Structure 1
Amino acid sequence: MKKFMYLIIVCAILGAGLSALMLLDHYYPDAHARVISCGGGIADPCYAVSQSDFAAFLGVPVAAYGLFFYILIIFILLIADYAGGGYATVAWLFTAALAAAGLLADMALGAILVYMKSLCTICVFTYGINALIATLAALWYRSLRAERGAGIREITREILGFAMEPDRRAASSLFIVFIVLLFFAVFSTATILSVKTAAEKPGADDIMAMVNEFYSREPEARSLPARDLALGDEHAPVTIAVYTDFLCSACYKFYQVEKQVVARYRDNVRFTYYNFPLDRGCNEYIRHTKYQNSCFASRAFIAAARKGMFEEYLMKHFGAYGDIARRYTLDTALLIASSITDADAFLREIQSPRTDERLIEDLKLAESLAINATPTLFINGRRFEGVPPREVLFKIIEREAMAGGKK
């Protein structure tokens, strides 16, 4: 009998870990060190789910409910294992009830994933854990029935009689107190995280002020030339042209925002990149070099796009940004590419005259648009310099998508 308890405890520990991970992901979506991969491209479905309107219920993240659920199961089974006797039967009844509730919740959450068309692998892992807990609870019941020769009704009556014994009432009262304290601990932690992260975000008035300032500018670059350095549907109602230096620290910050945008609005947004390396080695329109060898990075990205691996190269480049930004060389570009394609062929593409031609075209276009900082964005033609707060960018995208007839 104890083997079922121990197996359920192991499952609940795994579930609690995943729930804690999803809770942090809900409040800190900018964290780039992800423990579990959730999708093979930049459009991370776990981002999409954790930041969606379905990620919270009654103002509390769904992940917090999951964390409470798993910790409660762990506590019940550990107490039963320690106390022995009739507590094992009590533990089974509570575990079975919680497992049934978990399966019902998973059915609703699974339907939401289907509706969102997002395969959140972390979410699916928790559904599998809950199904395994329910299966183990069913096997545990078979063991109890074989041992006691009684069904659920008899077991329930036995438990009620057990709970009414005078020397057991204190234990029952303490159990109820623990549930209340556990509920308070988990949900107060979620509230603290909510308050802390809210303080780090711009307020509603600030967001609207930035959005209104953006729309006070006239569109100035509606028809930029097409580029292979692009992400998203070419027919998307919102196009964001990004003038960037791929070694620029602010551009790296924008990449973190961009991942959330692609995950949240993948059918409505298209990003197109134009090179403006802040390196006098190839950019004669700047006074001083700010990011040494960023000309190599620009050529590498042009080469990656020509070889049809722009998105993968972009992810690997920024995934290693902290290690490569200050000591980037041509060898760095080749090392990144070697995990995707043949490095020699990639080098030939970097050194190709057409790669230089494309870089020169981007720089001349930047000069005509008076680009002097990276990143500089053109959102459906309107300029935005710097990294917009994600809340501001979300508002702009939603407004532009509505104007384009999509949601």
Structure 2
Amino acid sequence: MSGYNLSPKAEHLYKVLKDFVENDCIPAEETLNQQLGHGADRFKAVPPIIEELKTKAKQRGLWNLFLANEHPPYCPGISNFEYALLAEQMGRCIRLAPEACNCSAPDTGNMEVLVKYGTGAQKRQWLEPLLEGKIRSAFAMTEPAVASSDATNISTSITRNSDGWVVNGHKWWITGAGDPRCKVFFVLGKTDPHNSNAYKQQSVIIVPRDAPGVRVVRPLTVFGYDDAPSGHCEVIFDNVRVPLDSIVLGQGRGFEVMQGRLGPGRLHHCMRAIGLAERAMELTLARICQRETFGRKLAQNAVVMHQIGDCRMDVEQARLLVLNAAQKIDASNPKAAQREIATAKIRVPSLVLKVLDQCIQIHGAAGLGADLALAEMYAGARTLRLADGPDDVHKEQLGRNEIRKYVKRHQAKL
């Protein structure tokens, strides 16, 4: 990609991926819609087009790119900065391209958890088939009965018995749970609810999807979209029994696992969102160059020119925030890039939503319907302001850290 100092490998992957997204994935969107079917059938079978695209992507070397350089031997040999540009291309076809390249959430975050913290047995049972794209997974955290933006509220219980753990809880908005290929849940719950340190009460435990007592209640919709066949589901864990070695990293280390999982994942969402905005802009530019109002093309209207200019500035700002965070991760690690990741997580979805809203406005009533992709794009992008923590929580944390840094510097001078 011109303008960026990419490695020869990343340059090659970018060209191959761009061709794959534009000429294979985007044209397949209509096929996906046709193969999904209607009603409950949308969650009973996987549209064949998905596996066809996965085969093509793997053959072209477009596989597991999200692991970047920090996870040998699994990494593809590119930096986070380079992956950001690749993920942007995948975001142009958000429903197909990320999954086709085995780079879609929540599997990416769950694979990173296993790469970083999994035991040898956990990796053999779950990581290997996930890396091969043979199964899918879900991360079960959010609960309907508590304010889950404060994860210390999570009330799902994980209790020890003579031969293992027993999980009881009610979760919802669990992405991927509706997919027939989903074979495993990573569940956040309390193993030590009376610990005086609220951040040591939680653990992450691996629960097979077919374990007795796991029940997917229903898929939930976002502005009417069900995101089949993956879905965002309500799930009940009713006396689910799993072996002792199902805890990830160790008892009471759930917050550590979550932070290791969510940091890169938050940035991956932002990377893809930029591709979403770019595609929306292209649809809109085509629209204004074709449509006429009051005797002239929309593109000749000064107000529309200003709107397009604002959209371009918003997209460029979003991209720079993402690339800055990715570069900081490459220079150090996700923990050291916490401020940059948080800034991107807060600002990028809002900027992308501004662009999508403007594109819908320019399209008029057509922008609101299902004939075009804009409304569905908007629904997906709006979700990002809540996914992996709402904006307000991240803003508070970001502000608190800035104040602490100032106070520390001030006290040092004194």
Larger relative contact order (Cα-Cα within 8 Å, sequence gap ≥ 6): 1
Tell me if TM exceeds 0.5: no
TM interval, shorter chain, is under 0.3
Query: What is the TM-score with the length of structure 2 in the denominator?
Result: 0.26
Q: Which one has the largest radius of gyration?
A: 1
Query: What is the TM-score with the length of structure 1 in the denominator?
Result: 0.26
Higher helix share: 1
